[in-house]
């Protein structure tokens, strides 16, 4: 999967539960009503249909009755360890920690965009995130060995051709692109641990949209930009004794803070954990969220609205809520 830092308030027991340690094997004859493996990412096709990506089992499409059926299988292991999916310009793009591949709208494999040989050739350790613009061009952010200062983000055509350096080390003060997102006019947003930077479609630095401490950002834990240019930043925070204090911040296209799309209290009460596996706007700019336990929510009026429950990882089974909210 694309490397993501676990916050310290996920204990070893919780991580084990997330991984399914000691769990009984699933009944192979049972009807699949949800991805049989933990879902890490989601996307929407041109018709607004929702697809969920499992790290090992492939892609599942949500049906009108709320169940999920397999859409892209991982029989050939091509997308093992996948952690992100996006549907853009008639294609599904699937990403792992060292690859990017493309499927057509019917779920048929088309081509590899980025592979481990590219990673080795560029001297990088792994990818940190991917994004796809409206033309189907793929942006890849890289992490390098300590002391190496090299291109942070490369861009590739949908067929993997035309490798282009887009963001150089320290350009616009970006030293690592932990999260990438595409905005209107194919503007590129790159987030490092403590700030969010905006670039135009040609990779020219535009502005620092969010920064610490001016905007009260503790640590970037997720990033999304909708078609209106609204920027959403998951602010990962916790108290000294490990109580989740994360919130979801919202900024307008000019980088002005608007409000918290989710207050820390709402996230605490919902017991969704302090990390977000994916944060995605749908075609109507409604924001969707995969929580630390694989559940999919729609964010409505500052609250979580359940879209798909993953009962194998029920939050109440693996993490007791704190006794009280800590100011």
- Taking 80 as the threshold, does the pLDDT of residue 240 lie above it? no
Query: Which residue do the tokens 């920064």 mark?
Result: 211
Question: Is-contact 27 298, C-beta < 8 A?
Answer: no
Please report which confidence band the pLDDT of residue 32 belongs to, taking 50, 70 and 90 as the band edges.
very low
The matching CATH number, chosen from 2.30.30.830, 2.60.40.1120, 3.10.50.40, 2.120.10.30, for 12-19+33-318 is 2.120.10.30
**Taking the model in full, what pTM does it have?**
0.83
Identify the residue with better confidence: 243 or 291. Answer: 291
Residues 10-21: what's their mean pLDDT? 35
Question: Is-contact 233 223, C-beta < 8 A?
Answer: yes
The tally of CA atoms less than 13 A away on the side-chain side of residue 50 is 27
What is the predicted pLDDT for the residue at 37? 66
Tens digits of per-residue pLDDT, 147-201?
A: 787 888 999 999 999 999 998 877 666 667 789 999 999 999 999 888 899 999 8
Alpha-carbon distance values, 183 to 37, 94, 157, 158 (Å): 31, 19, 18, 18
- Write the burial class of residue 296 (CB in 10 Å: 0-12 exposed, 13-18 middle, 19+ buried): buried
What is the predicted pLDDT for the residue at 43? 97
Lowest mean pLDDT among 90-94, 258-262, 297-301: 258-262
Tens digits of per-residue pLDDT, 84-142?
A: 999 999 999 999 989 999 999 999 999 999 999 999 999 999 999 999 999 999 999 99
Bond preceding residue 256 cis, omega within 30 of 0: no
Q: Which two tokens stand for residue 229?
A: 């240019």
Tens digits of per-residue pLDDT, 55-81?
A: 888 999 998 888 888 999 988 889 988
Residue ranges per domain, the chain?
12-19+33-318
Distance (Å, whole) CA 148 – CA 143: 9
């Amino acid at each position: 999967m694309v490397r993501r830092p676990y916050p310290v308030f996920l204990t070893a027991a919780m991580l084990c539960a997330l991984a399914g340690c000691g769990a009984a094997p699933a009944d192979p004859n049972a009807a699949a009503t949800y991805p049989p493996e933990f879902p890490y990412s989601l996307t929407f096709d041109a018709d607004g249909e929702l697809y969920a990506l499992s790290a090992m089992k492939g892609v599942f499409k949500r049906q009108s009755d709320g169940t999920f059926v397999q859409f892209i299988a991982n029989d050939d292991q091509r997308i093992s360890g996948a952690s992100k999916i996006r549907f853009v310009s008639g294609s599904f793009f699937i990403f792992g920690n060292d690859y990017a591949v493309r499927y057509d709208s019917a779920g048929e494999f088309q081509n590899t965009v980025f592979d481990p040989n590219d990673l080795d050739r560029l001297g990088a350790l792994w990818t940190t995130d991917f994004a796809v613009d409206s033309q189907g061009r793929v942006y890849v952010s890289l992490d390098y060995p300590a002391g190496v200062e090299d291109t942070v983000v490369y861009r590739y055509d949908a067929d993997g051709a035309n490798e282009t350096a887009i963001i150089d080390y320290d350009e616009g003060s970006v030293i690592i692109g932990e999260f990438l997102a595409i905005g209107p006019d194919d503007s590129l947003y790159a987030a490092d641990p403590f700030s969010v930077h905006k670039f135009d479609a040609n990779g020219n630095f535009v502005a620092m949209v969010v920064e610490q401490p001016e905007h009260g950002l503790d640590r970037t834990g997720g990033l999304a930009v909708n078609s209106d240019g609204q920027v959403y930043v998951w602010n990962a925070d916790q108290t000294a004794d490990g109580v989740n204090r994360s919130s979801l911040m919202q900024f307008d296209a000019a980088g002005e803070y608007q409000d918290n799309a989710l207050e820390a209290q709402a996230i605490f009460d919902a017991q969704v954990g302090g990390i977000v596996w994916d944060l995605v706007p749908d075609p109507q700019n409604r924001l969707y969220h995969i929580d630390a336990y694989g559940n999919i929510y729609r964010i409505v009026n500052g609250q979580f609205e359940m879209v798909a429950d993953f009962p194998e990882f029920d939050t109440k089974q693996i993490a007791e809520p704190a006794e009280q909210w800590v100011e």
